[in-house]
Amino acid sequence: MNSVQDVLSGLDPEQRAVAEAVRGPVCVLAGAGTGKTRAITHRIAHAVRSGAVEPQSVLAVTFTTRAAGELRQRLRALGAPGVQARTFHAAALRQLTYFWPRVIGGEAPSVIESKIPVLAEACRLLRRTPDRSELRDVAAELEWAKVCQIGWEDYTAAAAKHNRTPPVSAEEVARLYEAYERIRRERHLVDFETILELTAAVMTEHQEVAAQIRQQYRYFVVDEYQDVNPLQKLLLDTWLGGRDDICVVGDPNQTIYSFTGASPRYLTGFAVEHPNAAVIKLVRDYRSTPQVVDLANLVIAKGGSPHRLSLVAQRPDGPRPVFADYDDEPAEAAGVARAIRKLMDKGVPTREIAVLFRTNSQSESYEEALAKADIPYVVRGGERFFERPEVRQAVVLLRGAARSWSGEPLASEVHHILAGVGLTPAPPGGGKAREKWESLRALADLAEDVAAEGGDLPGFVAELERRASEQHAPPVEGVTLASLHAAKGLEWDAVFLVGLTDGMLPIIYAETPEQIEEERRLLYVGITRAREHLTLSWALSRAPGGRRSRRPSRFLDGLTGRAAAPRAAAPQPRERRQVAAPVSCRVCAKTLVAAAEQKLGRCAACPADYDEALLERLKAWRTAMAKEAKVPPYVVFTDVTLQAIAERAPTSEQELLSIAGIGRVKLDRYGEAVLDLCRSTHS
């Protein structure tokens, strides 16, 4: 690009308005597929090339390493290579590490990637023996508290105020929180939240530090502003120091992380905080066909949010979205696999197809169905590409070969090296072997791309290292399997949204109107991932031959062309069974008063005859369900309910419903699995 006008060429009127608003405050409300990254990178480049700002005074902040890397890459191409584009944590850690010796002294603390090892030690100090899933849930609860600036001493009251459902009692979380913080300080460690907190504190307490940072950074851009949490907002305000040269970009329709402490109010209230702000809306959708866009608009409009954006499709017409119901989950997975095969036969690459679901527990049946159909797949949200063993091994070998490289053709040299770690001319049948092969194939394809541009082996290794640092994986051939949360920010030619039943979307533990609407936005995010082909499906029962009692997601009412099933006027968060008469102990006939005894159907002191192996199987099943749904185990069933199930070993739905604490909602969600476990005991 040779001139300032070149930077502005090719932008639509709204994108150009963003690019020309070179000084803040500016709020960009950017819908899905509207080119927000293009708009903000051209804005930064225009500001730099026009002389409005110096490149080194710009700090562009985003949420992922990959997004930051993409910003830097685009800015280099636009002639603004000196701009800093980083995540909140990377920017804060860089500043904290630089100033630590001067204002605090000694070595800067070490960063912990995961809270779980420290939490495990805290548990040992408190003589607790939690499983790993509980540790993960407690770690998530600590992250919420820390980003909301809630200390351990205030956690119990705050959890009650915010209707949190911690994995253990709030008092126990508070004790673990205190022990975690004590160990962390003693070991000179910082977690991601502490990095932000300490950076803001150092700037507040040391004015010379604040002055130097504010002298360096005068011009701020924050992407995905709807996902900012209170701690990030605190740091951002500290960086600004009362100035308002800031541009924020976000989409209120894609607010799906409120459970982590993120708040859309900073985006929706930006014009109130900055009354002189320019507010620009990007609504021209260049990603999806009109048919996909119309469905997305209908889904989000039914939520009634005053902040929603209505998209305007810019692409030609495409096929209408498909709505499909199946008798059971295996039939749904097999049907999706058949539909994917048809798309492949029409020339749609597997890397341009995705199957998206609400919880990771839904992935397994689709992995099995795709493997059975000999369709390659990649599970997103698991191991990162550059952390896979085969990729790490290949990079080590390539790095060693680059040091002694003597000029052999890049592509053939890479193929030779990768053949030694498992790259064969033809792919293996499926499963882990196929996934490993696809990873190596992706490296080989990238080598061919670099070779076509005149690159050599040392340059290729440098490109791999750059991509690894930015988590910019090369495209891997295979259908993507991912949760709706993991799919945010991505797009494919064809998307299958599966398992769309009430109890799954919205998820069963979404109870308040705010939580229900966040589930609606999650469906909206899924719909807007599709460029052209979109299929929405659900299964009427869990297993073949099961009761067809499930209903399509309430968010699809009026959209499928079918009559909607009658629904309650408002969601009932928990079903409560009315007890018409006093409950008596089934052993001694004494009237039961305590709730736990009523649930068990016997006095706590009366003997119980039950299969201990069944109880252990029930607990293992509950742990797996809670882990995949990312909820505390007791949200599935409490210990007392499991004990009651093990004692009575029900074999029918009516017998299961007779147990206190099991209502129609939980019967529909978990009944078949529990009955299968109980029936296996009788057989």
Determine whether the annotation assigns residue 545 to a binding site: no
Query: How far is 473 from 385, CA to CA, in rounded Å?
Result: 6
Query: How far is 264 from 256, CA to CA, in rounded Å?
Result: 9
Query: How far is 528 from 16, CA to CA, in rounded Å?
Result: 24
Return the structure tokens found at 445: 């394809």
Return the structure tokens found at 389: 């063993």
Phi, psi of 442, deg, nearest 5: -65, -40
Per-residue CA distances from 230 to 145, 166, 174, 223 (Å):
10, 20, 20, 16
Query: How far is 385 from 468, CA to CA, in rounded Å?
Result: 8
Determine whether the annotation assigns residue 33 to a binding site: yes
Amino acid at 478: G
Determine whether the annotation assigns residue 34 to a binding site: yes
What secondary structure does DSSP assign to 147-168, as a single string?
A: HTT--GGGHHHHHHHTT---SS
For residue 355, give the nearest of 551, 529, 559 by alpha carbon.
Answer: 529
Determine whether the annotation assigns residue 92 to a binding site: no
Check: CB of residue 247 under 8 Å from CB of residue 71: no
Query: How far is 63 from 86, CA to CA, in rounded Å?
Result: 8
Check: CB of residue 235 under 8 Å from CB of residue 88: yes
How crowded is the C-beta side of 66, counted as CA atoms within 13 Å? 10
Phi, psi of 139, deg, nearest 5: -60, -40
Peptide bond into 566 cis (omega under 30): no
Query: How far is 16 from 8, CA to CA, in rounded Å?
Result: 6
Query: How far is 576 from 516, CA to CA, in rounded Å?
Result: 20
Check: CB of residue 486 under 8 Å from CB of residue 64: no
- Residue 478 falls in which region: left (phi positive, over 0), alpha (psi -120 to 50) or beta: left
Check: CB of residue 630 under 8 Å from CB of residue 593: no
Return the structure tokens found at 425: 């001319």
| DSSP percent split of the chain into helix, strand, coil, nearest 5 | 50, 10, 35
Determine whether the annotation assigns residue 32 to a binding site: yes
Helix (H, G, I), strand (E, B) or coil at 57: helix
Helix (H, G, I), strand (E, B) or coil at 244: coil
Query: How far is 520 from 560, CA to CA, in rounded Å?
Result: 16
DSSP state of 503: B
Strand boundaries in 234-348, DSSP class E: 246-250, 278-282, 284-285, 312-313, 322-326
Determine whether the annotation assigns residue 422 to a binding site: no
For residue 497, give the nearest of 446, 437, 434, 555 by alpha carbon.
Answer: 555
Report the greatest alpha carbon distance in the chain: 91
**58 forms bridges with which residues in the sheet?**
219
Torsion angle in degrees (nearest 10) through CA of 257, 263, 264, 270: -150
Determine whether the annotation assigns residue 82 to a binding site: no
What's the residue count for the chain? Answer: 683
**504 forms bridges with which residues in the sheet?**
507
Return the structure tokens found at 592: 């039961």
Amino acid at 480: T
Determine whether the annotation assigns residue 30 to a binding site: yes
For residue 426, give the nearest of 438, 408, 409 by alpha carbon.
Answer: 438
Return the structure tokens found at 3: 């001139």
Give binding residues for ATP as ranges. Answer: 30-37
Give binding residues as ranges. Answer: 30-37
